[in-house]
């Protein structure tokens, strides 16, 4: 796209500063050889992909979206349908509609299934995005929330294709820690590139001042549509990887609870920066694991606190405290590359208006 | 036949209209979409379980007091500190607060739904010609009308109501003329709490149990109803909520059986279409930014 050398250098710095620590973390966790730690790290990294996807749209455009989990769900089901072994398909999906009959004879290798699922998710995002990105503020919140409800209802009720309320089983379980690391590296690299190149800068400009942006000829719906489609496809990558990671899932796996967590992680990290997305997921996941350990087995001198819901309750309380004490999030919406630089001008802390 | 569906739909519609009013009131005063509003209704439900064996007036009074206290605490502890932050931060704060209250109820009352003994005197059916009208439908519709009229009188005639409406129009200006915004916002939360308590009593009277997750679907309905009705407009909010409930019940009655399971999906698709045609809602209030 004819970017300047300086842009590429900044891109490499941002991607590197975010990805390298994650890779080191993954290697260290792998060295411990503790299977439960490896599992926790994998699911945290996969979740991070979804949050990076959410950031790509909401962080850059300043428009809230509750739909990224819906796209993760679409991708997880698509990849599952494409990769479940042929032998299992007739018993799992006895009454597929005629236009999906071909699925019974298809069983793709998992990476190909994920790739197609991401492309399909992007296509759906593009189609529903054309009307949805015209909304902003609370209407956008409601519109995307309504879309999440629609997808959830279809997945729960369209038994012939999604197995309805029964869980999806027989999905090849192939996602490992290294797949998750590769996934998050790709997601961060793409998200960083997007927000540094022309298209992304235009979207950020529309977030900072929509009238000024329009006055220099930026078409806000078109820029939002780009960010939306890319962000939803990234969320789809996370969803597809997650499907092949847990191998059995249903619509409730991708429900309101996950939506709440992903949006909260992004806001706690600091809306408006990619660093915020990464930091938010890390902090919340570490806290959640700590609390969960406390709830299920106790920790050192602290006895086991056996109350279902305690983890989520304390987590919500901590989120409240962060929001009250640091409304701009832990990173204040600044990228890691600017952390060590002197502030030349006030950072765009509260740049997102809903 | 159709008349029967319409009567049932009016019942649900009135309940949804009442849910929407409480949410819309707080929004119009401070621009906050309070996701935790549904949890107030859930808390009202648990208050009813605890007070079920008491005389009816203790039950009603106790439920209202419990919900109003939580509503006021919400405002003081969570929303006042973020009042100057962006609308997005406020929205997420209410999200987190909703999650906190929900999980706290799960810790306190357990993960399984708690049974609520039925109010047998409310399930009486009246027969008019070939139509059935339950006493509950009558109570719901009349309570909604009374509450809406009372709210309108409160906003038009009383001192606090006039201050509330002034703050809705222009917060800065109303401060300049000496209106104490803390008091006004707190009173909005009190009214919203009373409405939530009434919703809880009407809603759970027709249910057999209360669960920690009961508030979720309620706030979704109210949220969507308020936005499609028209933010900042009380009439719009009530209309939006009413149409949500009315359409939902009608869809469930009239859709062919194999499509009925998709009633929610169809309803929310209609919501998206309404938003696209009228992003500011059906009854757009003056000067509200969306």
Quick: pLDDT tens for B6-23: 888 898 899 999 989 999
Report the residue of chain A nearest B27, measured CA to CA. Answer: A138
Q: Would you say residue A98 lies in a domain?
A: yes
Angle at A233 between CA A4 and CA A211, to 5 degrees: 60
Region B209-238 average pLDDT: 84
- Comparing CB atoms, the residue among A138, A150, A352 nearest residue B265 is A150
B69 — contact with chain A (CB < 8 Å)?
no
Closest by Cβ to A138, choosing from B33, B212, B268 = B33
Q: Are A170 and A88 in contact (CB under 8 A)?
A: yes
A321 has a chain B CB within 8 A of its CB:
no
Nearest to B227 among A138, A157, A310 (CB): A138
Tokens 């960083």 correspond to A192
More confident site: A50 or B132:
A50
Tokens matching residue A156:
């729960």
Q: Write the pLDDT tens digit of every residue in B35-91.
A: 899 999 999 999 999 998 888 899 999 999 999 999 999 999 999 888 877 777 788
Query: Is pLDDT larger for residue A71 or for residue B155?
Result: A71
Task: Tell me the nearest-neighbour CA distance from B35 into chain A, angstroms.
Answer: 11
Within 8 A of B271 by CB-CB distance, chain A residues are: 142-143, 146
On whether residue A319 sits in a domain, the answer given is no
A323 touches chain B (CB under 8 A): yes
pLDDT at B112: 87
pLDDT in tens, A170-228: 888 888 999 999 999 999 999 999 999 889 999 999 888 889 998 998 998 999 999 99
Of B96, B102, B247, which to mutate for an interface test with A (greatest number of A Cβ within 10 Å)? B96
Q: How far is A24 from chain B (nearest CA, A)?
A: 32
Chain A nearest-CA residue for B270: A146
- Which tokens hold the place of B85? 């932050």
Considering its fold, how many domains does chain A have in total? 1
Interface contact B112, partner A, CB < 8 A: no
pLDDT in tens, A135-161: 877 778 888 988 998 999 899 888 888
DSSP code string of B205-233: HT-SEE-TTHHHHHHHHHHHHHHHH-TT-
Select from A316, A317, A330, A353 the residue whose CB has the most chain B CBs within 10 Å, as the one to mutate to test that interface. Answer: A316
For the CA atoms of A266, A268, A272, A278, the dihedral, rounded to the nearest 10 degrees, stands at: -60
Among partner residues B104, B216, B271, which is closest to A313 by beta-carbon distance?
B104
Q: Touching check for A106 and chain B: CB below 8 Å?
A: no
B-chain residue closest to A261, CA distance: B96
Contacts of A263 in chain B (CB under 8 A): 92, 95
Q: Is it the case that residue A348 has pLDDT exceeding 60? A: no
Residue A120 within any structural domain of the chain: yes
Per DSSP, the residues of A105-127 read: G----HHHHHHHHHHHHHHHHHH
The residues facing A168 across adjacent strands are A249
From residue B196, alpha-carbon distances to A157, B65, B261 in Å are 31, 11, 29
Any CB–CB contact under 8 A between A352 and chain B?
yes
Q: What is the pLDDT of residue A137?
A: 75
Q: Is B132 helix (H, G, I), strand (E, B) or coil?
A: strand
> Three-state DSSP class for A8?
helix
Q: Which residue has 């192939």 as its token pair?
A: A174
DSSP notation for A154-196 = HHHH-HHHH-TTSPB--------HHHHHHHHHHHHHHHHHHHH
How far apart are the C-alpha atoms of A254 and A102, rounded to whole Å? 27
Residues B98-146: tens digit of each pLDDT: 989 998 998 888 888 888 888 777 778 888 888 888 888 899 999 999 9
Please give, rounded to a whole number of angstroms, the shortest distance from the CA of B75 to a CA of chain A.
Answer: 12
* A65, A69, A132, A146, best to mutate vs chain B, most B CBs in 10 Å: A146
- Interchain CB contact of B217 with A (< 8 Å): no
pLDDT of residue B195: 95
Contact between A148 and A259 (Cβ < 8 Å): yes
Give the 3-state secondary structure of residue A302: strand
Chain A residues whose beta carbon lies within 8 Å of the beta carbon of residue B106: 308-309, 312-313
B197's tokens: 């308590």
| Phi, psi dihedral angles at B39 (to 5 degrees) | -70, -25
Enumerate the residues of chain A whose CB falls inside 8 A of the CB of residue B78.
Answer: 320, 324
A150 near B CB under 8 A: yes
Confidence of residue A354 (pLDDT cuts 50, 70, 90): very low
Q: Are the beta carbons of B34 and B26 closer than 8 angstroms?
A: yes
Q: What is the distance between the alpha carbons of residues A86 and B241, in angstroms, rounded to a whole number? A: 48
More confident residue, A143 or A237: A237
Confidence of residue B272 (pLDDT cuts 50, 70, 90): confident
Q: Is A312 on the interface with B (CB under 8 A)?
A: yes
- Contact criterion met (CB < 8 Å) for A136 and B103: no
Distance CA A217, CA B151 (A): 47
Q: Is residue A129 within 8 angstroms of chain B, CB to CB?
A: no
Decide if A184 is inside a domain: yes
Which tokens hold the place of A185? 């590296």
Which of B:17-56 have CB within 8 Å of A?
Answer: 33
Q: Per-residue confidence at A351, pLDDT binned at 50, 70, 90?
A: very low
Helical (H) or strand (E) element with B235 = helix B234-254
- Determine the Cα–Cα distance for residues A301 and A248; give it in Å rounded to an integer: 36
Q: Tell whether A347 is covered by a domain.
A: no
- Which residues partner with B125 through β-bridges? B134
For residue A136, the distance in angstroms to the closest alpha carbon of chain B comes to 7
What does the mean pLDDT of chain B come to?
A: 86
**Quick check: B92 and A267 CB within 8 A?**
yes
A130 touching B, CB under 8 A?
A: no
pLDDT above 70 for A326: yes
User: What separation, in Å, do the N-terminal and C-terminal C-alpha atoms of chain A show?
Assistant: 32
- CA closest to A312 among chain B residues: B103
Q: A308 to chain B nearest CA, in Å?
A: 6
**Rounded Cα–Cα distance for residues A71 and A121 (Å):** 6
Task: Calculate mean pLDDT across residues A44-69.
Answer: 93
pLDDT-above-70 percentage for chain B: 97
Nearest to A320 among B100, B111, B261 (CB): B100
A254 versus B121: which is more confidently predicted?
A254
- DSSP string across B70-103: HHHHHIIIIITTTTTS-HHHHHHHHHHHHHHHHH
Report the C-alpha gap between B61 and B248 in whole angstroms. Answer: 31
What pLDDT score does A104 carry? 82
Asked if A316 and B97 come within 8 Å (Cβ–Cβ), the reply is yes
Residue A49 has pLDDT above 90, yes or no: yes
Q: Is the model's pLDDT at B28 over the cut of 60? A: yes
pLDDT band at residue B286 under the 50/70/90 scheme:
low
Say how far apart CA B140 and CA B70 lie, in whole Å: 24
pLDDT computed for residue A353 by the predictor: 41
How far is Cα B83 from Cα B87, in angstroms, rounded to an integer?
Answer: 9
- Predicted local distance difference test score (pLDDT) of residue B67: 96
pLDDT band at residue A323 using 50, 70 and 90 as cut-offs: confident
Q: Check: CB of residue A54 under 8 Å from CB of residue A266.
A: yes
* Average pLDDT of span B217-245: 84
Q: What value does the mean pLDDT of chain A take?
A: 86
Q: Is A309 on the interface with B (CB under 8 A)?
A: yes
Helix (H) or strand (E) holding B133: strand B131-134
Interface of A with B in 182-201 (CB under 8 A): none
Residues 6+ apart with CB under 8 A from A311: A288, A291, A292, A294, A295
pLDDT surpassing 90 at residue B198:
yes
Return the pLDDT at A26: 93
Residue A199 belongs to what domain range? 5-271
Tokens of B48: 């009813």
């Amino acid at each position: 796209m004819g970017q300047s050398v300086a842009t590429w250098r900044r891109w490499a710095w941002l991607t590197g500063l975010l990805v390298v620590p994650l890779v080191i973390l993954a290697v260290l966790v792998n060295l411990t050889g503790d299977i439960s730690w490896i599992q926790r790290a994998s699911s945290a990294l996969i979740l991070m992909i979804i949050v990076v996807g959410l950031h790509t749209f909401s962080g850059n455009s300043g428009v809230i979206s509750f739909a990224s989990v819906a796209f993760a769900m679409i991708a997880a089901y698509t990849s599952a349908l494409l990769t479940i072994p042929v032998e299992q398909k007739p018993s799992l999906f006895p009454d597929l509609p005629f236009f999906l009959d071909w699925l019974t004879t298809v069983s793709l290798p998992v990476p190909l299934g994920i790739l197609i699922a991401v492309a399909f998710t992007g296509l759906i995002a593009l189609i529903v995005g054309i009307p949805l990105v015209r909304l902003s503020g609370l209407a956008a919140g409601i519109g995307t929330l309504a879309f999440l409800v629609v997808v959830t209802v279809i997945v729960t009720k369209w038994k012939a294709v999604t197995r309805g309320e029964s869980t999806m089983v027989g999905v090849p379980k192939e996602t490992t820690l290294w797949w998750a690391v590769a996934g998050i590296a790709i997601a961060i690299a793409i998200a960083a590139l997007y927000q540094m190149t022309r298209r992304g800068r235009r979207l950020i400009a529309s977030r900072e001042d929509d009238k000024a942006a329009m006055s220099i000829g930026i078409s806000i719906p078109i820029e939002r549509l780009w960010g939306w489609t890319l962000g939803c496809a990234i969320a789809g990558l996370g969803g597809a990887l997650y499907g092949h990671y847990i191998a059995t899932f249903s619509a409730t796996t991708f429900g309101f609870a996950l939506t709440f967590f992903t949006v909260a992680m992004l806001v706690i990290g600091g809306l408006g920066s990619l660093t915020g997305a990464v930091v938010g997921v890390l902090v919340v996941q570490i806290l959640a694991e700590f609390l969960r350990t406390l709830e299920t087995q106790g920790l050192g001198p602290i006895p086991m606190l056996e109350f279902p819901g305690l983890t989520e309750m304390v987590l919500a309380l901590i989120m409240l405290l962060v929001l009250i004490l640091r409304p701009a999030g832990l990173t204040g919406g600044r990228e890691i590359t600017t952390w060590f630089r002197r502030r030349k001008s006030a950072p765009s802390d509260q740049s997102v208006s809903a | 036949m159709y008349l029967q569906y319409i009567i049932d739909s009016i019942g649900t519609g009135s309940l949804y209209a009442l849910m929407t009013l409480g949410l819309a009131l707080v929004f119009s005063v401070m621009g906050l979409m309070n996701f935790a509003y549904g949890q107030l209704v859930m808390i009202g439900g648990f208050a009813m379980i605890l007070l079920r064996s008491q005389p009816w007036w203790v039950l009603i009074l106790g439920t209202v007091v419990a919900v109003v206290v939580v509503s006021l605490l919400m405002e003081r502890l969570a929303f006042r500190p973020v009042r100057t932050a962006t609308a997005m931060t406020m929205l997420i704060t209410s999200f987190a607060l909703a999650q906190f209250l929900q999980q706290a109820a799960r810790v306190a009352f357990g993960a399984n739904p708690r049974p609520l003994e039925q109010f047998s005197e409310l399930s009486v059916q009246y027969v008019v010609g070939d139509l059935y009208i339950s006493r509950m439908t009558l109570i719901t519709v009349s309570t909604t009308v009374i509450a809406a009229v009372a709210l309108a009188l409160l906003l038009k005639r009383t001192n606090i109501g006039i201050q509330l409406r002034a703050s809705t129009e222009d917060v800065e200006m109303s401060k300049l003329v000496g209106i104490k915004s803390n008091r006004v916002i707190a009173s909005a939360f009190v009214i919203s709490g009373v409405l939530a308590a009434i919703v809880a009593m009407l809603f759970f009277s027709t249910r057999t149990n209360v669960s920690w997750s009961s508030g979720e679907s309620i706030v979704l309905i109210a949220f969507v109803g308020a936005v499609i009705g028209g933010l900042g407009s009380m009439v719009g909010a009530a209309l939006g909520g009413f149409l949500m409930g009315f359409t939902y019940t009608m869809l469930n009655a009239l859709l062919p059986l194999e499509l009925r399971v998709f009633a929610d999906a169809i309803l929310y698709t209609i919501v998206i279409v309404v938003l696209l045609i009228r992003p500011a809602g059906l009854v757009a209030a003056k000067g509200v930014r969306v």
